[in-house]
Chains A and B, each alone.
Chain A
Amino acid sequence: MAPHDLRRPFKRAAISDQQRRRELSLLRQSQNRRDAQQQARCLASSILSLNSQNPEAEIEQNDGEFETSSETDRESVTPSKDLDVRQASKLKGAEARKWFARQLMVPEWMIDVPNSLSQDWYVFARPAGKRCFVVSSNGTTVSRQRNGSILHHFPSALPAGARTRNASGTGQSYCILDCIFHEADQTYYVIDMVCWNGYSLYDCTSEFRFYWLNSKLEESGACSPPSHYHRFRFCPIPVYPCDQNGLWTAYTGEMPYVKDGLLFYNKHAHYQTGNTPLVLVWKDENCSQYVIDTDSQGQIPSQQQVVLELQNDGKLATSDDPPVVFGCLDRDFIEKTGLHPGILLRFAVSDGGLSFVDGKLENADLNYLGKANRARAFADSYSKVLFQYTVRHSPLKIDELLAAINSSKDQEDKPRDVEMAG
């Protein structure tokens, strides 16, 4: 019960630097723990654990795969022997397919021209080939197609991409690149960078991602010609601001690869998985061999085909979020055919076509064809159906794109109205 000491800190900072060192360390550790967990939850480990099941078999099959249709089409065709393997490990395969399909940013099709193309957008010519995720981790590199199947399993000069003696960097290091594999020159054209050397770029603008891609990829040596520890060459893609020059160069300019349409990236958009209106694809016959959808034999069907998902209530919907409903199957038909909700179904667009009121789909004249290919992970998106529809009827032409850029330029140059006061 002695009198209490009532001294208070005098002319002292509230917190000592030692305490700060402790706290900063704790902060770093919990941040690192979070990163480690996040990484475990995300791609790299999934890819490797799936990969370790049966990599040889998958590589073999894929080597024998013959590409028949455009890869921008979601309907990627998998050979039938793949199905056997998948039936053996059915669960993993389907899981993998869905998983990977969800990890890629999927462009919407350009059905009308966005405002401010010239200020806020980039444009580049999309290489023809297989869209895939390339992941380097733990001394090896794996490329997986959108449907989850392995394309290649190889050493590369990407960080953590090969077991070389002088491999530096920590065990946590890994990269995830969004690529298109171009068969003719056996090159991975990198169209986006998702993670680099353990550093996630998901939350960075595409402006930054392209900048990072261009500076880091070259530095890493991944653009060098193939060698023992570097099986395939990687190559960045020339990206242009979407002004008149840029668009014209991307459209007509000489590229080291075969073109398959143009891709437009909004400069401010983050890497967002799934469908996004902030990346757009556009094609015409001049810049793509595959403008109109082909079937599994590579033939253009006489009627446009669409793939839709059957919902609980019998409605037929696109893959968009929220989904767009194209029609409805009646209950009897569903019961008779034993179709279950969630299944993907193929339809032909009949003579009645698609009709719109106020820019919204009002009616679709659909004809049931059958179940979609098993390798499909999702239904078509609304923008794809519409683009395919307009391509067959009144396509959006390059002149209209150029005109849109010009008109916005005109507007810029136009003096603004000034209210006169004198």
Chain B
Amino acid sequence: MAMEVTQILLNAQSIDSTVRKQAEENLKQFQEQNLPGFFVSLAGELANDEKPVESRKLAGLILKNALDAKEQHRKFELVQRWLTLDVSAKAQIKAFLLQTLSSPAHEARSTASQVIAKVAGIELQHKQWPELLGALLSNIHQLPAHTKQATLETLGYICEEVSPDVVEQDHVNTILTAVVQGMNSSEANNDVRLAATRALCNALGFAQLNFSNDMERDYIMRVVCEATLSPDLKIRQSAFECLVAISSTYYDKLAPYMKDIFNITAKAVKEDEEPVALQAIEFWSSICDEEIDILEEYGGDFSGDSDIPCFYFIKQALPVLVPMLLETLLKQEEDQDQDEGAWNIAMAGGTCLGLVARTVGDDIVPLVMPFIEENITKPDWRQREAATYAFGSILEGPSPDKLMPLVNTALSFMLNALLQDPNNHVKDTTAWTLGRMFEFLHGSALDAPIITAANCQQIITVLLQSMKDVPNVAEKACGALYFLAQGYEDGGSSSALLTPFFKEIIQTLVTVTHREDAGESRLRTAAYETLNEVVRCSTDETAPMVMELVPHIMMELHQTLEGQRLSSDEREKQNESQGLLCGCLMVIIQKLGSSEQTKFVFMQFADQMMSLFLRVFACRSATAHEEAMLAIGALAYATGSNFIKYMQEFYRYLEMGLQNFEDYQVCAITVGVVGDLCRALEDKVLPYCDGIMTQLLKNLSSNQLHRSVKPPIFSCFGDIALAIGEYFEKYLVYAMPMLQGAAELSIHISGADDDMTEYTNSLRNGILEAYSGIFQGFKGSPKTQLLLPYAPHILQFLDSLYMEKDMDDAVTKTAIGVLGDLADTLGSNAGPLIQQSVSSKEFLIECLSSDDPLIKESADWAKLAISQATSF
């Protein structure tokens, strides 16, 4: 059955593209003609020590890719294919793979490790390959070092691949024992020790029980801590990685070790090489993440049922932790602000300092202020930058009371530094710090404003001036203005402060978008985003200036559509611009279209805008599509029923959007736009409904579409029914069974992790919104009796939701509303059914006394509707 594949595999890596293509073609044919034979040949090639390492490695990679794919749908197909493959072929393949672990060729071993893990990922789930772990672990102590290394590596990959619940505790114990022994300082071979350390990192998720056992946990922690002192850099780095993983997985078990860990990390941060020091800092960032989560969730109140208490590790370590982090701030790299991918110890330390501030609040301020005061005026730019960065980092977390006096003092210093400091790095950080001041300490929620009539002009002048600086500084200045504008978004009286500068702000931002170097440091994006925010905070007084911006933005969008024969770089740039311009237009549509004062004049641009959007669809770029689609939704809402005139042309792009499974964001947004259209066009949307409904039903049946799009599709059914009323009749026979099926699935939340619970609730909400729309759509029509057969199931669904007790507030509100809609539309015909349901009694009573006004409102409605349906 096997076949000689060496030459083909070598040819497939040839530099000669003809040879390569021929070889790829051969492989494809072989695979299609005889899949088991193909796999066995590849495994045999990988296992054969007489073959060249290149062909062996490729053979392994092809096998690995035949077992797994990123895309869910494809992955499922591959798993099914493997499970149904001829058993003897599979046995042969697995034997070859295990055999390869003893190969002297490192690359062959490593490839085999990964393939074994993929096979295990499929088979252990189905209780197959029971002898695998035994085979790997049985003789691990007698093996030669290189086989031991490969075996540990394989165990690591397996732990990464399979979920902890398919491995029995006995096996977990043996795996952990082997791995931890491999990490021990008594292990002389560094390759083995490294493989073991890396394996432990993946195996930690399996060790719940072992971490609850004091003795075993002490042992694991000791070995990990010792490994952080290994002479081998990679082992040290990997050991710290284990500590990071432990900090998030076993936060509540760390207390006895924190003192030692602090000493180890402090030493690493101070003295060790960067990759190790970065992991050491990450440990503290990770502890901050944990404590911020706990404190946010329980608000510091642990008397109740919070299962993980906060140990306040950060607060306790504060006096030593903060100086350690401040030290790192002085280790900046010259060009880190121009390099998007940069990550160094100063950046990691600064980020950690910000997290510490969020964790402990006010307590950090007195520990950081002396550092700032000492360094901020020093001749060495590193000291000025570090001081500024430290100040910026602590602006989120401590209370406004504590920060306000400091910010008021620092503000004019910072404004001055932004224009005068000779160093770009310092200016970059200064502009960022100003942005943080406005983000966290400016806005109508705060009592005393830091921006006043007295300093507003200076602030804006400096920021606009700074937008002419080098791209990275200009980008941060845009960011600062973004947050400044955001503070005025709610249109309070103080927003009038901006009015005198509004025109200049808009002009400057537009000029920035035209800078030759606006492509660097994402300056162009930042300028448009700030422009959007400025538009959002415009007032009646400044609206005319936004209006003047409209033809300008449309012209720019027009120009991006004119360019021809572009290089791929230019096209990418053009698509980016289109996305930004469509995004900006969308914000303007929402703003000017929502006010009666501006709407009329603004609507004169609607035709032109729409034709531009349609042309954007003709260019194929997902980002631009998404933005244009969002803009069209906003336009439809503003236009109302007159939008019908665009429908004929727009419809095919709408359909295209609904079919775009690959960029599911585009699909999701298009579904939302269908809702906008329904509300704008009402019954005029009818001629397009056949097409839309067909596509939506197809989408629901597809397992290729990202699941997050499905709940909005159900909601969209409701939008359509509400718009076209009884004409929804012809879709009932398709839509109702789908809703019913989904409803049944959504009753029991299995697996119940947070993601799943959230998804299930959004699914329920979509289903219920569909029912609401359908009932309300049919209300008053002679055809309401068509809905009667569905009523028992719907009431049963509501009852089950109530019994399960795991609805969120949004679902509760929608569910009780559906009860009212059902009663309202079906009236006395459904009276007896309603009276039998639990929902109309306990559930309704609970909702009537809800604290949530939206639930209460829906419940009042349901009560009224039910009393009418049952009183005759």
Binding site for B on A (CB under 8 A): 1, 3-4, 6-8, 10-11, 13, 16-18, 21-22, 24-26, 28-29, 32-33, 36-37, 40-41, 45-46, 48-50, 52, 91, 94-95, 98-99, 102, 169-173, 197
Looking at chain B's contact residues, the main secondary structure is helix
B443-486 Cβ-contact flags toward A at 8 Å (1 or 0): 00000000000000000000000000000000010010011000
Specify which of A48, A98, A169, A171 lies most central, judged by the most chain B CB atoms within 10 Å of its CB: A171
Q: A1 CA to B237 CA in the complex, in Å?
A: 13
Closest 8 CB pairs of A and B: A49-B780, A170-B640, A17-B529, A40-B776, A171-B682, A7-B343, A1-B198, A171-B641
> Which residue of chain B lies nearest to A98 when distances are taken between CB atoms in the complex?
B868
Tell me if B224 counts as interface (CB < 8 A to partner A). Answer: no
Q: How far is the CB of A95 from chain B (nearest CB, A)?
A: 6
The residue that A32 contacts in the complex, of B637, B641, B772, B872, with Cβ under 8 A, is: B637
**Are A17 and B533 in contact, CB atoms less than 8 angstroms apart?**
yes
**Are B160 and A25 in contact, CB atoms less than 8 angstroms apart?**
no
Specify which of A10, A13, A32 lies most central, judged by the most chain B CB atoms within 10 Å of its CB: A10
Q: A26 CA to B634 CA in the complex, in Å?
A: 11
Q: How far is the CB of A165 from chain B (nearest CB, A)?
A: 12
> Which residue of chain B lies nearest to A219 when distances are taken between CB atoms in the complex?
B596
> Inside 8 A of A8's CB, which chain B residues have their CB?
285, 348, 351
Q: How far is the CB of A4 from chain B (nearest CB, A)?
A: 7
> Which residue of chain B lies nearest to A6 when distances are taken between CB atoms in the complex?
B282
**Are A91 and B827 in contact, CB atoms less than 8 angstroms apart?**
yes
Q: A316 CA to B253 CA in the complex, in Å?
A: 69
Q: How far is the CB of A104 from chain B (nearest CB, A)?
A: 15
Q: A394 CA to B19 CA in the complex, in Å?
A: 113
**Are B282 and A172 in contact, CB atoms less than 8 angstroms apart?**
no
B278-294 Cβ-contact flags toward A at 8 Å (1 or 0): 11001001000000000
**Are A22 and B669 in contact, CB atoms less than 8 angstroms apart?**
yes
Using A29-B675, A29-B676 as known contacts, say yes or no to A91 and B779 having CB atoms under 8 A apart.
no
**Are A33 and B719 in contact, CB atoms less than 8 angstroms apart?**
yes
> Which residue of chain B lies nearest to A53 when distances are taken between CB atoms in the complex?
B780
**Are A1 and B640 in contact, CB atoms less than 8 angstroms apart?**
no
> Which residue of chain A lies nearest to B777 when distances are taken between CB atoms in the complex?
A40
Tell me if B60 counts as interface (CB < 8 A to partner A). Answer: no
**Are A21 and B532 in contact, CB atoms less than 8 angstroms apart?**
yes
**Are B672 and A37 in contact, CB atoms less than 8 angstroms apart?**
no
Specify which of A6, A41, A197 lies most central, judged by the most chain B CB atoms within 10 Å of its CB: A41
**Are A11 and B476 in contact, CB atoms less than 8 angstroms apart?**
yes
Tell me if B102 counts as interface (CB < 8 A to partner A). Answer: no
**Are A94 and B779 in contact, CB atoms less than 8 angstroms apart?**
no
Q: How far is the CB of B202 from chain A (nearest CB, A)?
A: 6
Q: A7 CA to B682 CA in the complex, in Å?
A: 49
> Inside 8 A of A7's CB, which chain B residues have their CB?
343
**Are A45 and B779 in contact, CB atoms less than 8 angstroms apart?**
yes
Q: A227 CA to B270 CA in the complex, in Å?
A: 88
Specify which of A18, A22, A28 lies most central, judged by the most chain B CB atoms within 10 Å of its CB: A18
Using A40-B776, A170-B640 as known contacts, say yes or no to A22 and B630 having CB atoms under 8 A apart.
yes
Q: A169 CA to B350 CA in the complex, in Å?
A: 53
Q: A248 CA to B3 CA in the complex, in Å?
A: 110
Chain B, interface size category, equals: 35 or more
Q: Which among B8-16, B583-591, B606-614, B801-809 touches the partner chain?
A: B583-591
> Inside 8 A of B640's CB, which chain A residues have their CB?
169-173
> Inside 8 A of A24's CB, which chain B residues have their CB?
590
Q: A102 CA to B868 CA in the complex, in Å?
A: 12
Using A6-B278, A13-B479, A94-B872 as known contacts, say yes or no to A33 and B682 having CB atoms under 8 A apart.
no
**Are B679 and A32 in contact, CB atoms less than 8 angstroms apart?**
yes
Using A3-B238, A28-B637, A99-B868 as known contacts, say yes or no to A37 and B278 having CB atoms under 8 A apart.
no
Using A3-B237, A91-B827, A91-B828 as known contacts, say yes or no to A29 and B672 having CB atoms under 8 A apart.
yes
Tell me if B797 counts as interface (CB < 8 A to partner A). Answer: no
| Chain B, range 333-351, C-beta contacts under 8 Å to A | 343, 347-348, 350-351
> Inside 8 A of B441's CB, which chain A residues have their CB?
none
Q: A32 CA to B872 CA in the complex, in Å?
A: 34
Q: A98 CA to B432 CA in the complex, in Å?
A: 62
**Are B282 and A11 in contact, CB atoms less than 8 angstroms apart?**
no
Using A8-B285, A33-B675 as known contacts, say yes or no to A25 and B630 having CB atoms under 8 A apart.
yes
Looking at chain A's contact residues, the main secondary structure is helix
**Are B817 and A172 in contact, CB atoms less than 8 angstroms apart?**
no
Q: A172 CA to B682 CA in the complex, in Å?
A: 8
Q: How far is the CB of A144 from chain B (nearest CB, A)?
A: 15
Q: A197 CA to B864 CA in the complex, in Å?
A: 26
> Which residue of chain A lies nearest to B342 when distances are taken between CB atoms in the complex?
A10
| Chain B, range 776-803, C-beta contacts under 8 Å to A | 776-777, 779-780
Q: How far is the CB of A180 from chain B (nearest CB, A)?
A: 26
> Inside 8 A of B244's CB, which chain A residues have their CB?
6
Tell me if B680 counts as interface (CB < 8 A to partner A). Answer: yes
Q: A40 CA to B775 CA in the complex, in Å?
A: 10
The residue that A52 contacts in the complex, of B241, B482, B780, B864, with Cβ under 8 A, is: B780
> Which residue of chain B lies nearest to A171 when distances are taken between CB atoms in the complex?
B682
**Are B583 and A25 in contact, CB atoms less than 8 angstroms apart?**
no
Specify which of A6, A17, A49, A50 lies most central, judged by the most chain B CB atoms within 10 Å of its CB: A17
> Inside 8 A of B201's CB, which chain A residues have their CB?
1
> Inside 8 A of B238's CB, which chain A residues have their CB?
3
> Which residue of chain A lies nearest to B594 when distances are taken between CB atoms in the complex?
A28
Q: A45 CA to B279 CA in the complex, in Å?
A: 63
Tell me if B715 counts as interface (CB < 8 A to partner A). Answer: yes
> Inside 8 A of B533's CB, which chain A residues have their CB?
17
**Are B156 and A1 in contact, CB atoms less than 8 angstroms apart?**
yes
The residue that B669 contacts in the complex, of A25, A28, A91, A173, with Cβ under 8 A, is: A25
> Inside 8 A of B705's CB, which chain A residues have their CB?
none
> Inside 8 A of B237's CB, which chain A residues have their CB?
3
B562-589 Cβ-contact flags toward A at 8 Å (1 or 0): 0000000000000000000001001100
Tell me if B773 counts as interface (CB < 8 A to partner A). Answer: yes
**Are A6 and B198 in contact, CB atoms less than 8 angstroms apart?**
no
Q: How far is the CB of A64 from chain B (nearest CB, A)?
A: 27
B590-625 Cβ-contact flags toward A at 8 Å (1 or 0): 100000100000000000000000000000000000
A-B contact pairs, 8 of them (CB 8 A): A8-B351, A17-B583, A21-B630, A25-B633, A45-B780, A94-B872, A98-B868, A171-B680
Q: A172 CA to B587 CA in the complex, in Å?
A: 22
The residue that B672 contacts in the complex, of A21, A26, A48, with Cβ under 8 A, is: A26
> Inside 8 A of B722's CB, which chain A residues have their CB?
36-37, 40
**Are B583 and A18 in contact, CB atoms less than 8 angstroms apart?**
yes
**Are A10 and B680 in contact, CB atoms less than 8 angstroms apart?**
no
**Are A1 and B199 in contact, CB atoms less than 8 angstroms apart?**
yes
Q: A21 CA to B634 CA in the complex, in Å?
A: 11
Q: A26 CA to B762 CA in the complex, in Å?
A: 14
> Which residue of chain B lies nearest to A169 when distances are taken between CB atoms in the complex?
B640
B193-231 Cβ-contact flags toward A at 8 Å (1 or 0): 000001101100000000000000000000000000000
> Which residue of chain A lies nearest to B684 when distances are taken between CB atoms in the complex?
A171
> Inside 8 A of B199's CB, which chain A residues have their CB?
1
Besides A17-B533, A25-B669, A95-B827, 7 more A-B contacts (Cβ < 8 Å) are A3-B237, A3-B279, A22-B665, A25-B586, A25-B634, A40-B779, A95-B872
Q: A179 CA to B185 CA in the complex, in Å?
A: 90
Tell me if B68 counts as interface (CB < 8 A to partner A). Answer: no
> Inside 8 A of B432's CB, which chain A residues have their CB?
11
Using A37-B772, A37-B776 as known contacts, say yes or no to A29 and B633 having CB atoms under 8 A apart.
yes
> Which residue of chain A lies nearest to B483 when distances are taken between CB atoms in the complex?
A13
Q: How far is the CB of A194 from chain B (nearest CB, A)?
A: 16
Q: A278 CA to B560 CA in the complex, in Å?
A: 61
Q: A32 CA to B722 CA in the complex, in Å?
A: 12
Q: A32 CA to B637 CA in the complex, in Å?
A: 9
Tell me if B45 counts as interface (CB < 8 A to partner A). Answer: no
